[in-house]
Amino acid sequence: MKNMEMDLSITRLLEQYDFHSKLYLNCLVDIKPSDAQKRINQSTNHIAWLAGNLVSVRFRLGSSLGLEVQDVFYDLFKDQRAIQDHITYPDLAPIQEDWNRITPILKDRLSSLTKEELLSSQPFDAPLLGQPNLLNTISFLIDRESYAIGQLGLLRKIFGYEAMKYN
């Protein structure tokens, strides 16, 4: 029974991963470059930072799983760097290209994880519920994607765009 529970855990996470992969792109549809750099106030992130940070986190997870890939804008987002006021972030098109590059590669790697790998030590420091293992790290990162995608969806509405589509 435990094997089925483990398989089900990663299966559900992979389903969310696929869903987020689509929603991320849906959030960025038709966003003007000038709107991607707008912040509601100095305490909030903008669309370009959120989009780039999400890509960066997928690359970081991939790297921790042995993938030899790096995001184009690594230096802007490395070490989970917060938004920097003095920087104009890249346009969304090259950020999306990086998203499209890492998404299938990381999905293949996640799909191939063994039970032993999933129960191995957490690859980097992240808030966790439960044991500090890879499975819980992946779970946290998937949850974090939901949070950031929600922010992207809200920013779309704030800046007068149509709501994000689910299909």
Tell me how far apart the alpha carbons of residues 110 and 93 are, in angstroms, rounded to a whole number: 25
What pLDDT, in 10s, does the model give residues 72-109?
999 999 988 999 998 999 999 999 999 999 999 999 99
Q: If DSSP codes are grouped into helix, strand and coil, which group holds residue 92?
A: helix
pTM beyond 0.75: yes
Tell me how far apart the alpha carbons of residues 26 and 156 are, in angstroms, rounded to a whole number: 10
